[in-house]
């Protein structure tokens, strides 16, 4: 019986060792659009809710170049700021997914998906409190984001807002 246990143990250890040698990480994502997003960005001033805002964004590859991590600081009126982040990825066919989070917590955590076609990304999705469609276009060192979203106002009425934000690479 001892011999059987020893033989089974040795075979088990050999099988674990040979399986671990076959494991490897997937290759880095190779998507020209996502690669063009990488870097430091500053937005032109834009209007939202009748007030002036601007953003600063840092976009970098993480987790074996499987995701782009976007960290944004939004600057608003009277010194108000908040932070947000997104994780972005795409497959070889340009099918895109994005998860978003910000200082407002769960109510603004979102999920978006869509398609990359050359230098344009079109996505739809939303959060617990809104739905949105976004068109992001890359032209060299300029990234233009057209956002249309619908949410309820303080009186419970559905309101649709359109914002255009232009980012410039630092």
DSSP 7: H
pLDDT at site 54: 98
Residue 11 lies in a domain: no
Residue 26 lies in a domain: no
Residue 93 lies in a domain: yes
C-alpha to C-alpha distance for 125 and 165, rounded to whole angstroms: 18
Over the stretch 92-116, which tens digit does the pLDDT of each residue have?
Answer: 999 999 999 999 999 889 999 999 9
Cα dihedral sign, 98-62-21-18: negative
pTM given for the model: 0.83
Residue 8 lies in a domain: no
- Burial of 116 per CB tally in 10 Å (0-12, 13-18, 19+): buried
The CATH number covering residue 66 comes to 2.40.128.20
Over the stretch 2-39, which tens digit does the pLDDT of each residue have?
Answer: 666 666 565 565 655 555 568 999 999 999 999 999 99
- Phi/psi at 156 (5° precision): 85, 5
Residue 16 lies in a domain: no
Residue 116 lies in a domain: yes
C-alpha to C-alpha distance for 155 and 137, rounded to whole angstroms: 34
Show the domain range for 61. Answer: 32-169
Cα dihedral sign, 122-132-111-43: positive
Residue 14 lies in a domain: no
Report the domain count for the chain.
1
Element (H, E) at 34: helix 32-37
Residue 59 lies in a domain: yes
């Amino acid at each position: 019986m001892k011999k059987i246990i020893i033989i089974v143990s040795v075979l088990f250890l050999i099988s674990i060792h040979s399986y671990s040698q076959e494991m490897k990480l997937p290759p880095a994502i190779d998507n020209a659009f996502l690669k063009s997003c990488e870097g430091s960005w500053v937005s032109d001033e834009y209007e939202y809710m009748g007030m002036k805002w601007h953003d600063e964004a840092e976009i970098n590859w993480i987790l074996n170049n499987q995701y782009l991590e976007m960290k944004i600081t939004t600057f608003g009126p009277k010194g108000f700021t908040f932070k947000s982040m997104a994780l972005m990825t795409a497959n070889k066919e340009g099918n895109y997914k994005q998860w978003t989070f910000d200082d407002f917590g769960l109510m603004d955590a979102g999920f978006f998906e869509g398609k990359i076609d050359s230098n344009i990304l079109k996505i739809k999705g939303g959060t617990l409190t809104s739905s949105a469609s976004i068109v992001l276009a890359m032209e060299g060192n300029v990234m233009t984001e057209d956002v249309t979203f619908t949410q309820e106002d303080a009186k419970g009425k559905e309101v649709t807002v359109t914002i255009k934000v232009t980012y410039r690479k630092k």
